[in-house]
Amino acid sequence: MTNDTILCEAHPAAPLPMSFFQALPLPELIERFRTGSHRLDPRLLHLTDEQLDRTFDRAAGAGAWSCRVLIGHLADADLVYAHRMRRTIGEDRPMLALFDEHAFIDAGLYAPALAGSPPPVASAEAGIAPAGFVAVIHTLRLWGGQWLASLTEAQFERIALHPEQGEFPIRRQLEYVTYHLEHHGWFLTAKLNDILGPAKRDTIPPSGCGTGCKCVTEGSEE
C-alpha cells in the first residue's frame, strides 16, 4: 500500500454499533468479515517506530493503546476467532478458552524490548513491524471468508460453549469478530489523525480506498 490509498478525510463520529452487524443478512456479514482488512487505515504502514509506539490519553478519545499494540491485538483476536469458529464446526459443542488480551500486552508480545532487557535471539528490529500483523489479518479473512461462505444454514446453527457467554453460536462469533476489527479500526484512524492530521480526500484514487469502500459515492468509508 502507498500514500495514494489512504482513507478519506471524513472520520465517522463513532464506531458502528454491534446492532449494525447483528442486522446484516448472513451473506453480507460474511462479505464484510472477508474484506475487513480493507477498512484498516493504511497510513499505519508508514509510521516511524516512535509514532507506532506512542500511547494516548484516553480523554483525547482515541483510546490509550499505541498503534503497534492495537494492530497486534487485532491480529491475535482474528487468530483466536478463526480457531473458535472452526472448532464450532468441527467439534461437538466445544468448550472455548478465554483470551486474556491484557496478558498478551503485559508480556510484551507487541512492543519493543524495554531498555536493559536481554537481547533477542535473532532480531535487531526495534519492534515488530505492523505489516506482518496486517498480513495475518488479511490472509485469515480471505481464507475464513471463503470457508464461511461454503457452510450450510444448519452449520451456522452450531454452537460452542464460552466460559462467560454460555452458548456461543457461530453466527454470533462472526458478528463479534467483524464488529471487533471495525471498532478498533475506528480508534486506529483516530490515533493516526492525531499523529498525522486527517487524511486528505484528494489523495483517494478514482476507485476509492479499496474493496468495500463507498467513499467515492458517499464521501466516507462507511
Query: Looking at residue 206, what is its pLDDT?
Result: 44
All cell numbers assigned to 126: 526495534
**Could you state, in order of their start, the residue ranges of all structural domains in the chain?**
3-111+127-218
Q: What is the pLDDT of residues 66-76, one digit of tens each?
A: 999 999 999 99
Query: Looking at residue 12, what is its pLDDT?
Result: 82
Query: Looking at residue 201, what is its pLDDT?
Result: 60
3-111+127-218 classified as CATH 3.40.50.1170: no
List all residues 6 or more positions away from 212 whose beta carbon is below 8 Å from its beta carbon: 31, 32, 35, 38, 39
Q: State the 10-residue block means of pLDDT for the chain, 222 residues long.
A: 44 90 98 97 95 91 93 97 98 96 91 62 71 97 98 96 95 98 96 91 46 37 26
Query: Looking at residue 147, what is its pLDDT?
Result: 98
Q: Output DSSP code: residue 4.
A: G
Task: Judge contact between 72 and 133, C-beta under 8 A.
Answer: yes
Q: What is the pLDDT of residues 30-44, one digit of tens each?
A: 999 999 999 999 999
